């Protein structure tokens, strides 16, 4: 459905909906609906006489017309567009219900016979608009982030001799041209480095956990970030970049139709014609047997008792209640569709770096050189001192591993960043100046290859050397640190009957840590998405969990998706939910909750359908007067609404301690990045 109020254009012509105007109109409709219910009840119980009759009924008619003028335009356009394509959608059922309620009420007003229910117009239109708005917010958030990212990567600086180059549109570049990328800047082209060296943050595009040392001859992709070096890059692709392909996948996914909508449209495809046929048959039969007013009353009773208000009220109530319960678990979803999708997943695919593992590398081993055994605390203080103020991710890992640890007593007289290698410094400690370096072993190349500590470098780890006066004083081995709750979460998902799989762009996989899950390494974004599609083609329903730009194609294609709260903005806006509390324990709890809510909604649907079918039979037989039909409609709504409130009473314990902050407070900083 593409109503004007909540329309989402193709990203190239994207227009942000006026949300304030939408919610203002919904608020007016809610007020008028409440007033209408009060006056309708009074009119039906104690009909006024004389001029008061027409004043009250005129006010009710006017309120229904005002609400329709405020909110009914998109419904009319959507229904007309569907009819032109010979399709019957949920919009059509809403429109028929509105027309039936209004015409039947108007007939009651004019003939002074039967009950009026003009407020149904306001109620149904408010439900329709709110549901459309919730779904559209998810799409607009993703398209907004796509537009922002494209703008960030839209220009490049030409590499010219004699000084800084001019800025040009990236799309105007041709293969073979050269661009300049400075420290802290994004690469805006897919290309090959022909000058410069330094560390590059690649995690968003490839999943590589730590900064990667890049030099001449290495390939880089648009979206990667230079941390400390200045590079000259020869353009291979300025258009049709890998990132462009990722964004196109996201656009297609976000502009597509939701599964709940498709299921509802299929159901309405046979239900609405059936309702209309029964109403028409009822009119024809009673027109033949009696008079046209009675025939019209009975046919209107059929339309009223078939009104989708029961499901229209109760289903959103159950979904919104479920979304609130999810937020207490630390999981923020943009639309109720997420609950339905989550309840049917059969396999969970995880990204590794930043998702199952902490975002920063953790110190795994600190090995002092033979001459510095017993002086480990002083070495750690030196390492923290020389890295102080360095924004490099490994510098943060050093500070996190050692804390202050006496670093304040180490005076750093001179520190210099060596792009792609590390940092060198002169310190004053223990009575005199000392030359210190911390970074890649190449920093000590002038003093010969430093001896490796016993055991060598572990697979998947990152090794730094701390040198003092040209001698290797210590080795620091860093590697990814799996989140503490990962074994428990994988075991819970297994107990729920779900298979788990890890898809990572990294080459390392710790099978012992991720017991119970299979792993696929070295995957580019397209390969992750292809794996999701392969699983879906085999009949699996997939939940994807990730945090980086390289995860977004898989997040967009999966049946349900969750982005980590600290992940890339594009991943957060692409996923159908954001994990703001930080603990993965919320995922199995959320799946249990979603399954119970889905089962409750299905039970409600069967109950309401049976209820309405029986009512339609009674109305068609002339047994059910429109007044009773209205009461049945309200009774059905009340019963399924009460059932909806009882759905999903499962464990809602918010995460604390190791799990992170309570969701209702911890998610406050997440509100700007949730998908809906």
Look up the CATH number of the domain holding residue 382: 3.40.1110.10
Mean of pLDDT values over 69-76? 84
Estimate to the nearest angstrom the gap between the alpha carbon of 401 and the chain centroid: 33
Q: Note whether 436 and 347 are same-domain residues.
A: no
Residue 457 lies in a domain: yes
Most confident of 4-13, 290-299, 396-405, 487-496: 487-496
Provide DSSP, 3-69: -GGG----GGG-----HHHHHHHHHHHHHHHHHHHHHHHHHHHS---THHHHHHHHHHHHHHHHHHH
What's residue 656's pLDDT?
Answer: 39
How many C-beta neighbours within 10 Å does residue 111 have?
11
Mean of pLDDT values over 295-311? 70
Phi, psi of 523, deg, nearest 5: -95, 130
Q: Note whether 398 and 498 are same-domain residues.
A: no
Is pLDDT larger for residue 424 or for residue 163?
424
Tell whether the model's pLDDT for residue 14 goes beyond 60.
no
How many C-beta neighbours within 10 Å does residue 17 have?
18
pLDDT-above-90 percentage for the chain: 9
Residue 609 lies in a domain: no
Q: At what angle do helices 119-152 and 51-84 cross, to 10 degrees?
A: 40
Mean of pLDDT values over 645-664? 45
Quick check: 397 and 361 in contact, CB under 8 A?
yes
pLDDT-above-70 percentage for the chain: 73
What's residue 152's pLDDT?
Answer: 84
Is pLDDT larger for residue 304 or for residue 489?
489
Q: Note whether 369 and 468 are same-domain residues.
A: yes
Tell whether the model's pLDDT for residue 281 goes beyond 70.
yes
Instruction: Let me know how long the chain is.
Output: 676
- Residue 294's pLDDT band (cuts 50, 70, 90): confident
How many C-beta neighbours within 10 Å does residue 566 have?
17
Q: Note whether 517 and 551 are same-domain residues.
A: yes
397 burial (CB, 10 Å; 0-12 / 13-18 / 19+) is buried
What's residue 11's pLDDT?
Answer: 39
Judged by average pLDDT, the poorest of 33-42, 129-138, 560-569, 606-615 is 129-138
- Residue 536's pLDDT band (cuts 50, 70, 90): very high
What's residue 350's pLDDT?
Answer: 92
Mean confidence (pLDDT) of the chain:
76
What's residue 623's pLDDT?
Answer: 76
- Residue 585's pLDDT band (cuts 50, 70, 90): confident
What's residue 392's pLDDT?
Answer: 77
- Residue 395's pLDDT band (cuts 50, 70, 90): confident
Dihedral (CA of 589, 533, 499, 601) sign:
positive
Quick check: 208 and 202 in contact, CB under 8 A?
yes
Tell whether the model's pLDDT for residue 3 goes beyond 50.
no
Mean of pLDDT values over 433-440? 88
Tell whether the model's pLDDT for residue 671 goes beyond 50.
no
Residue 95 lies in a domain: no
Compute the 3-state secondary structure of the chain and give helix, strand, coil in percent, each to the nearest 5.
55, 15, 30
Tell whether the model's pLDDT for residue 219 goes beyond 80.
yes
* β-pair partners for 414: 426
Whole-angstrom distance, CA of residue 409 vs CA of residue 401: 18
Whole-angstrom distance, CA of residue 63 vs CA of residue 388: 67
How many C-beta neighbours within 10 Å does residue 548 have?
27
Tell whether the model's pLDDT for residue 676 goes beyond 50.
no
Is pLDDT larger for residue 383 or for residue 608?
383
- Residue 591's pLDDT band (cuts 50, 70, 90): very high
* β-pair partners for 200: 212, 226
State which of 567, 588, 609 marks the end of a domain. 588
What's residue 588's pLDDT?
Answer: 93
State which of 216, 237, 258 marks the end of a domain. 237
Residue 564 lies in a domain: yes
Quick check: 351 and 674 in contact, CB under 8 A?
no
Q: What is the CATH number of the domain that holds 159?
A: 2.70.150.10
Q: Note whether 500 and 409 are same-domain residues.
A: no
Mean of pLDDT values over 418-426? 84
Number of domains composing the chain: 3
- Residue 510's pLDDT band (cuts 50, 70, 90): low
What's residue 673's pLDDT?
Answer: 37
Estimate to the nearest angstrom the gap between the alpha carbon of 216 and the chain centroid: 38
Residue 167 lies in a domain: yes
Tell whether the model's pLDDT for residue 403 goes beyond 60.
yes
- Residue 346's pLDDT band (cuts 50, 70, 90): very high
What's residue 544's pLDDT?
Answer: 95
What's residue 199's pLDDT?
Answer: 87
Helix (H) or strand (E) holding 462: strand 462-468
Query: For 437-475, what is each residue's pLDDT tens digit?
Result: 998 887 886 555 555 665 555 556 778 889 988 888 999
Q: Note whether 473 and 376 are same-domain residues.
A: yes
What's residue 494's pLDDT?
Answer: 92
Q: Note whether 583 and 489 are same-domain residues.
A: yes
Q: Note whether 382 and 487 are same-domain residues.
A: no
Estimate to the nearest angstrom the gap between the alpha carbon of 179 and the chain centroid: 34
Judged by average pLDDT, the poorest of 114-123, 133-142, 379-388 is 133-142
Query: For 555-580, what is each residue's pLDDT tens digit?
Result: 989 999 999 887 888 888 888 888 87
Residue 558 lies in a domain: yes
What's residue 30's pLDDT?
Answer: 77
Dihedral (CA of 394, 385, 477, 462) sign:
positive
- Hey, what long-range contacts does 258-264 have (CB within 8 A, 24 or more apart)? 258/135, 258/335, 258/337, 259/337, 259/340, 259/341, 259/559, 260/336, 260/337, 260/340, 261/1, 261/90, 261/135, 264/90
Residue 583 lies in a domain: yes
Q: Note whether 531 and 474 are same-domain residues.
A: no
CB neighbours of 442 closer than 8 A, spacing ≥ 6? 421
Tell me the helices (H) and strands (E) count for the chain, helix number first.
Answer: 19, 22
Quick check: 247 and 70 in contact, CB under 8 A?
no
Q: Note whether 520 and 499 are same-domain residues.
A: yes
Tell whether the model's pLDDT for residue 654 goes beyond 80.
no
What's residue 28's pLDDT?
Answer: 81
State which of 424, 455, 479 marks the end of a domain. 479
What's residue 501's pLDDT?
Answer: 92
Query: For 220-260, what is each residue's pLDDT tens digit?
Result: 988 888 988 889 999 987 777 877 776 776 566 555 555 55
Mean of pLDDT values over 12-23? 62
Quick check: 149 and 248 in contact, CB under 8 A?
no
Residue 274 lies in a domain: no
Q: Note whether 444 and 527 are same-domain residues.
A: no
What's residue 450's pLDDT?
Answer: 55
- Residue 299's pLDDT band (cuts 50, 70, 90): confident
Mean of pLDDT values over 529-557? 91
Is pLDDT larger for residue 644 or for residue 596?
596
What's residue 672's pLDDT?
Answer: 37
Tell whether the model's pLDDT for residue 153 goes beyond 60.
yes
What's residue 668's pLDDT?
Answer: 35
Mean of pLDDT values over 188-202? 88
Q: What is the CATH number of the domain that holds 526?
A: 3.40.50.1000
Whole-angstrom distance, CA of residue 194 vs CA of residue 190: 13
- Residue 500's pLDDT band (cuts 50, 70, 90): very high
Is pLDDT larger for residue 91 or for residue 103?
103
Q: Note whether 503 and 443 are same-domain residues.
A: no
Is pLDDT larger for residue 159 or for residue 648?
159
Is pLDDT larger for residue 277 or for residue 4?
277
What's residue 665's pLDDT?
Answer: 34
Pairing of β 219-220 and β 190-195 = antiparallel
Domain containing residue 553: 342-356+483-588
């Amino acid at each position: 459905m593409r109503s004007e109020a909540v329309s989402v254009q193709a990203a190239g012509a994207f227009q942000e909906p006026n949300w304030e105007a939408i919610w203002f109109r919904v608020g007016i409709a809610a007020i008028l609906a409440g007033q209408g219910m009060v006056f309708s009840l009074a009119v039906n119980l104690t009909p006024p006489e004389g001029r008061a009759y027409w004043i009250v009924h005129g006010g009710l008619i006017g309120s229904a017309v005002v609400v329709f003028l405020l909110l009914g335009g998109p419904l009319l356009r959507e229904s007309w567009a569907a009819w032109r394509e010979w399709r019957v959608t949920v919009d059509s059922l809403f429109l028929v219900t509105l027309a039936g309620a209004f015409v039947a009420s108007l007939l009651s007003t004019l003939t002074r016979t039967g009950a009026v229910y003009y407020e149904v117009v306001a109620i149904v239109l408010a439900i329709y608009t709110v549901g459309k708005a919730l779904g559209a917010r998810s799409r607009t958030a993703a398209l907004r982030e796509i537009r922002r990212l494209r703008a960030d990567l839209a220009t490049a600086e030409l590499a010219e001799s004699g000084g800084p180059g001019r800025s040009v549109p990236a799309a105007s570049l041709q293969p073979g041209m050269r661009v300049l990328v400075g420290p802290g800047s994004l690469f805006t082209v897919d290309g090959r480095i022909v000058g410069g060296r330094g560390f590059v943050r690649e995690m968003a595009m490839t999943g590589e956990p730590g900064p990667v040392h890049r030099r001449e001859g290495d390939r880089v992709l648009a979206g990667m970030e230079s941390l400390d070096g200045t590079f000259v890059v020869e353009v291979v692709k300025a258009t049709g970049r890998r990132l462009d392909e990722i964004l196109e996948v996201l656009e297609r996914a976000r502009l597509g139709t939701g599964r709940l909508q498709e299921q509802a449209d299929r159901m309405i495809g046979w239900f609405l014609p059936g309702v209309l046929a029964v109403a028409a048959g009822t009119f024809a039969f009673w027109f033949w047997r009696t008079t046209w007013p009675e025939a019209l009353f009975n046919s209107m009773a059929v339309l009223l008792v078939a009104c989708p208000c029961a499901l229209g009220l109760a289903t959103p109530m159950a979904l919104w209640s479920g979304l609130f319960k999810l937020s207490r678990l630390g999981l923020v979803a943009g639309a109720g569709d997420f609950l339905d999708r989550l309840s049917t997943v059969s396999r969970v695919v995880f990204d590794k770096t930043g998702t199952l593992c902490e975002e920063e590398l953790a110190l795994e081993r600190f090995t002092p050189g033979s001459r510095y055994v017993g002086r480990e605390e002083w070495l750690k203080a030196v390492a923290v001192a020389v890295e102080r103020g360095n924004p490099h991710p490994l510098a943060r890992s050093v500070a996190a591993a050692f804390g202050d640890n006496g670093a304040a007593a180490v005076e750093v007289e001179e520190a210099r960043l060596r792009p792609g290698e590390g940092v060198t410094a002169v310190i004053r400690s223990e009575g005199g100046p000392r030359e210190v370096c911390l970074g890649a072993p190449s920093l000590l190349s002038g003093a010969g290859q430093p001896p490796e500590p016993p055991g060598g470098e572990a697979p998947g780890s990152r090794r730094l050397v701390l040198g003092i006066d040209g001698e290797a004083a210590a080795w620091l081995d860093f590697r990814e640190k799996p989140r503490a709750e990962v074994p428990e979460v994988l075991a819970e998902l297994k107990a729920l009957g779900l298979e788990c799989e890890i898809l990572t762009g990294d080459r390392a996989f710790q099978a012992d840590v991720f017991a119970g899950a299979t792993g696929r390494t070295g995957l580019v974004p397209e390969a992750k998405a292809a794996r999701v599609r392969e699983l879906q083609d085999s009949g699996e329903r997939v939940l994807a969990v990730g945090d980086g730009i390289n995860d977004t194609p898989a997040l967009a294609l999966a049946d349900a998706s969750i982005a980590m709260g600290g992940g890339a903005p594009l991943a957060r806006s692409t996923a159908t939910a954001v994990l703001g509390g930080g603990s993965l324990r919320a995922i199995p709890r959320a799946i249990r909750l979603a399954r119970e809510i889905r089962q409750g909604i299905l039970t409600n649907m069967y109950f309401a359908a049976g209820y309405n079918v029986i009512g339609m039979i009674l109305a068609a037989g002339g047994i059910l007067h429109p007044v009773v039909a209205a009461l049945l409609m309200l009774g059905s709504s009340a019963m399924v609404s009460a059932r909806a409130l009882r759905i999903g009473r499962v464990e809602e314990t918010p995460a604390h301690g190791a799990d992170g902050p309570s969701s209702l407070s911890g998610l406050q900083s997440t509100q700007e990045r949730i998908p809906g």
